[in-house]
Amino acid sequence: MGPIGSPGAEAIDAAVNPADVPFYYWVTVNLDTGETKFSETLAEHAVYVAEYQAWCADNPGRCS
């Protein structure tokens, strides 16, 4: 793994040939477990963002 400015071949391939999925948004809601939620709509995404923000409130200093 390298800096975000130096994507690897796998990342480049994924950008050129994206998976055929209906998701447009994503947010990691728990930084300890890496749980990430995907959504099709902005409204659904907003719910997950609120979940992430609640996690941040319960874990001070982790989301700075």
- Pairing relationship of beta strands 35-39 and 25-30 according to DSSP bridges: antiparallel
pLDDT of 1 reads 52
Q: Is residue 9 part of a domain?
A: no
Q: Is residue 62 part of a domain?
A: yes
Point out the residues of the chain with pLDDT beneath 70: 1-4
pLDDT of 46 reads 98
pLDDT of 21 reads 87
Q: Is residue 36 part of a domain?
A: yes
Which domain does 48 fall in, by range? Answer: 20-64
Q: Is residue 44 part of a domain?
A: yes
pTM of the predicted model as reported, rounded to 2 decimal places? 0.70
Q: Domains in the chain: how many in total? A: 1
Q: Is residue 31 part of a domain?
A: yes
CB distance 31 to 62 below 8 Å = yes
